[in-house]
Amino acid sequence: MTMIIAHRGASKLAPENTMPAFELALRMKAEAIETDVQLTKDNIPVLIHDEQVKRTTNSYGYIKDYHLAELKQLDAGSWFSKKFAGATILTLEEFLQWMSDTPLHLHLELKNNKIDYMYLEPIVFELLNQYNVVDRTTISTFNPKSVQRFSQLSSTIEIGLLTSRKINNLARYAKELGAKAIHVKYRLLNKALIQKCQQEDMRVRVYTVNHFSPMMRCFRLGCDGIFTDVPNKALLYRNKF
Ligand code: G3P
Ligand code: MG
């Protein structure tokens, strides 16, 4: 069955990558949450999508140039709606504390394709171990070198290579890097890709799928998961499928 993964939480109805978006995804009964992780200046993993804070907070500048204490002062909710004023950027640790008491699976995307944060992989891996969630976490990244580095840290954790580009023999390429899954942009999805992945024993997940017919196509083709901003709709449609 295709797993419904709340993309940055239930991000259509609450500010992405914040506690309200994660709590809403859980209430909607999403099976997994996808979130993006980067490092602060003091090497604390925090959950935010863009390398700069401008789009999703009331400030500007790069995550890598902020200490955690400074980032924590920012409002990560008001940009979305006044209703969410005061939501903060979460640390990965705060998220794991919350998640470890839920049945959720975690899709943790290392946002290290533009800025290749040093030590992001070991810092993240240590926290996942500390909170005992390694067996319900999938790591993903657009950065092939980071796939290799993470697979050297752990041969058991599931790692997915993210791509929005067409790559020749993608399944084999990702497998050779140490991935066990590919996470592709919807336009790259087709039957041949699914078949190739089955041959290579690779999982296939698709982002970002928010509408009825692409969702049904993903279910029909047998994708292992979809990343969606509307997990409530996706669950409804999957139940009908
Ligand atoms: O992990 C799937 C998806 O989140 C990848 O793209 O830009 O939304 O992080 P993006
Ligand atoms: Mg992401």
3-state secondary structure of 113: coil
- Separation of 153 CA from ligand 1 center, angstroms? 23
Confidence (pLDDT) at 229: 99
Residue 29, sorted as left (phi over 0), alpha (psi -120 to 50) or beta, turns out to be left
- Separation of 199 CA from ligand 2 center, angstroms? 27
- Catalytic site includes residue 211: no
Q: In this structure, are strands 158-163 and 225-228 parallel, antiparallel, or unpaired?
A: unpaired
H, E, C per residue of 22-73: HHHHHHCCCCEEEEEEEECCCCCEEECCCCECCCCCCCCCEHHHCCHHHHCC
Confidence (pLDDT) at 241: 87
Q: In this structure, are strands 3-7 and 137-141 parallel, antiparallel, or unpaired?
A: unpaired
Confidence (pLDDT) at 174: 98
**Does residue 162 line the site of ligand 1, with CB under 6 A?**
yes
Q: Out of 37, 203, 208, 229, give the residue to mutate to test ligand 1, the one with the largest number of ligand atoms within 8 Å of its CB.
A: 208
CB 183 within 8 A of CB 162: yes
**Does residue 34 line the site of ligand 1, with CB under 6 A?**
yes
Per-residue pLDDT of the chain (241 residues; tens, 9 = 90+): 999 999 999 999 999 999 999 999 999 999 999 999 999 999 999 999 999 999 999 999 999 999 999 999 999 999 999 999 999 999 999 999 999 999 999 999 999 999 999 999 999 999 999 999 999 999 999 999 999 999 999 999 999 999 999 999 999 999 999 999 999 999 999 999 999 999 999 999 999 999 999 999 999 999 999 999 999 999 999 999 8
Please return the burial class of 220, using the count of CB atoms within 10 Å of its CB with bins 0-12, 13-18 and 19+.
exposed
**Does residue 49 line the site of ligand 1, with CB under 6 A?**
yes
Confidence (pLDDT) at 48: 99
CATH fold, domain 3-240, is: TIM Barrel (3.20.20)
The ipTM of this complex is 0.99
